[in-house]
Amino acid sequence: MAATLFGLTEKDLKPFSPLMALLALAYGLAWSYLRFGRPRFFKTGARVFAAIAFAFFALAEAVLLLSLFMRWDTVAFALALGFLPLLGALWTTLQVSPVNQVPGQTALAGERVVPVSQGRVHLGRSGVSLEGVDFAELSRKLRERVIGQEEAVDALIRGLKRKAAGFGRKGKPFSAMLLGPTGTGKTELAKALAESLGRPLVRYDMNAFGQEHTAALLVGSPPGYVGSDKPGRLYEDLLRAPEAVVLFDEMEKAHPFVLDPLLQLLDEGRFQELSQGLVVQASDAVLLFTTNLLTEVPEGADLRGLLVARGLRPEFVNRVDEVVAFRPFTREVLLEVARRHLLGYLEGWKRARGLAFRLEVDEAVLHRLVSLCDLRFGARDLQRVIEGTVGDALADAYLRRGGRKFSRLRIYLDGDNLVAVLED
């Protein structure tokens, strides 16, 4: 193909230039269709054709590079450069073609099966494989972040250990239902787990998918409906985030339209969105669901039975690996939560303002904060109380100083009033 190897000149190769251009265009169009379209009639032939073409052009590229190594030739150099994007396109076609499936999985007619490990864009780090997790360290980190819910943390850790050890159905992702009163740490546990595993957290507020037309945004619109030209958000997020921790917050508020596509995801790690029939395999994802249906759970109660009695579909509940109960906070636990929230609140303000000061908080302040909370709302109400008491007192003291620096912040009670003093 090159003058240095076959004795051909540029004049000899010139008549083939239009043919090469047409071939490159044809391959580019075929790759684009296979990459983004909905291949139906190519099926296995597309992969065979792409594999043969890739082998041919890879061999041609090697010959051209060898000829350039032996003797410089302008034509060979131009062809070698031209083949590189073509090889890349063919390789990408092989990676995402309709028959590039997860072992043991069968593609249905008109589907494109894309393992998440070969997604187009990855969000954050790929995360730690469960087999390599130090579960003692993971338990410690979760307990530090989620206070007063040792039973829930232990149940989650046990389920993750089983998944790591290979127990359960092959291809099934780990899943857990987190139930209990609001503000007891369910969402915080999902955040802490994602951070500890080094995985992205994908979170859905299921209250936003309570209507049929909004539910279609998550799982896809059936063909012929508005929005059916785009895949659902869950498909896109699973494609972009391999091994993600996926949180479905307040699952009981989701439209029933959402549940059917989720059943196969829970059972086989396989999610098919409804608009274009696209399929993504997410066997290594961690699926967490929260619900406020059961605010008081008796010890030893049949949690799955209670959830079904409160309206969740039994086929959904039975596919969840772990059902984990969060208990209402006691006053002692809420005191520790108040301490951490207050310190976090003040540290955030310190960083935002670029300040450096020593902090002193009287114990009575924490008791006052807890007394102003409604225990039914747990830690969520505590944040509001801190902002409305400590925030107000601190804002008054800081603005009275005209924003000048200080070295000591003391917060104490004067009767029922919370006082913040800034000292040099």
Nearest one of 307, 330, 331 to 319, comparing CA atoms: 307
- Both structure tokens of 101: 């499936």
For position 111, what pLDDT does the model report? 33
For residue 47, count other CB atoms closer than 10 A to its CB. Answer: 17
* 120-129, 284-293, 309-318: least confidently modelled range: 120-129
What's the rounded mean pLDDT across residues 328-356?
Answer: 87
Q: Is residue 387 predicted with pLDDT exceeding 60?
A: yes
Place of tokens 């494609």: 239
Q: What angle do CA 91, 92, 95 make, to 5 degrees?
A: 90
- Sheet containing 270-272, strands listed edge to edge, beginning at the edge strand earlier in sequence: 113-115, 279-281, 270-272
What's the rounded mean pLDDT across residues 331-336?
Answer: 86
Cβ–Cβ < 8 Å for 186, 252: no
Q: Mention every residue, 6+ apart, whose C-beta is less than 8 A from residue 254.
A: 206, 209, 210, 215, 248
Band (pLDDT 50/70/90 cuts) for residue 19 is: low
Place of tokens 């350039």: 68
Q: Mention every residue, 6+ apart, whose C-beta is less than 8 A from residue 332.
A: none
Q: What angle do CA 241, 242, 245 make, to 5 degrees?
A: 75
For position 50, what pLDDT does the model report? 64
Helices 43-70 and 74-96: angle between axes, nearest 10 degrees:
150
Cβ–Cβ < 8 Å for 412, 367: no
Q: Measured in whole angstroms, how far is the alpha carbon of residue 84 from the centre of its chain?
A: 34
Q: Is residue 234 predicted with pLDDT exceeding 70?
A: yes
For position 95, what pLDDT does the model report? 54
What's the rounded mean pLDDT across residues 271-298?
Answer: 86
How far is residue 351's CA from residue 349's CA, in Å, rounded to a whole number? 5
Average pLDDT, the chain: 77
393-396-401-406 Cα dihedral, nearest 10 degrees: 20
Please give the share of the chain, as a percent, with pLDDT higher than 70.
71
Place of tokens 């994602």: 194
Top pLDDT among 177 and 2 is at 177
How far is residue 410's CA from residue 362's CA, in Å, rounded to a whole number? 8
Band (pLDDT 50/70/90 cuts) for residue 220 is: confident
Q: Is residue 130 predicted with pLDDT exceeding 80?
A: yes
How far is residue 378's CA from residue 391's CA, in Å, rounded to a whole number? 19
What's the rounded mean pLDDT across residues 145-167?
Answer: 91
Q: Is residue 247 predicted with pLDDT exceeding 50?
A: yes
Q: Measured in whole angstroms, how far is the alpha carbon of residue 104 from the centre of its chain?
A: 25
C-alpha distances (whole Å) from 268 to each of 102, 104, 152, 172, 279 are: 11, 11, 25, 5, 12
For position 109, what pLDDT does the model report? 31
For position 287, what pLDDT does the model report? 96
pTM: 0.66
